[in-house]
Amino acid sequence: MKKAERAAHIDKRLEELYPVVPVPLDHKDPYTLLIAVLLSAQCTDIRVNQVTPHLFKKADNPKSMVKLSVQEIEDIIRPCGLAPRKAKAIWTLSQMLLDHHNGEVPNDLVELEKLPGVGHKTASVVVSQAFGVPAFPVDTHIHRLCQRWGLTNGKNVVQTENDCKKLFPKERWNKLHLQIIFYGREYCTARGCDGTKCPLCTEVYPNRKNPKVVKKP
């Protein structure tokens, strides 16, 4: 298969496997999604979903959040790891939303990336999942699978994102990035597949004999 053929096959198969893809992080609006995504850095979605109900019970909007101290936020989110840094970012970005955006989360990548603790991936997740703006957030699952599927050379997540945007229709980006994540967790895990074992790896590379060496992001 050529690269475009592999991409088309993968797109079709993932839509068959995951016709409905829920957003993994529990939230009720753009603000709670932003906080949940920030907390998910180096933490599992399951753990984040265990912690956020306690945090959002105290503060589920910027105005309420800045009434808490950074220490109070830190104590609640400690199970998510990197608590001091994340707590400071949550408090500060909440104040910035009040000062510069009337307490609303902007639906613009550039504005989101100005907020502390919000990198390109986090901003991409928020605009795609909260506002429906086409984006292709690349996490470790997507970076790993796209290398195994020969869709990118794996130099870095920026390159992987750019390659995926060229290969897949824009209207598929928001759903497809979630479908790849679900597939990576279920079938093509870091240790469970080496590029020669899971269904899609064997379908797009039926003659591959040796494990695919994956470059870390």
- Catalytic residue numbers read 121, 139
Q: What is the DSSP letter of 211?
A: P
| C-alpha 204, offset from chain centre | 25
- Asked if 124 contacts 163 with a C-beta cutoff of 8 angstroms, the reply is no
Give the ranges where the chain is alpha helix by DSSP (H). 3-17, 30-39, 45-58, 62-65, 70-77, 83-100, 109-112, 120-131, 140-148, 157-167, 173-186, 199-204
Name residues whose C-beta falls within 8 Å of residue 108's C-beta, 6 or more positions apart in sequence: 127
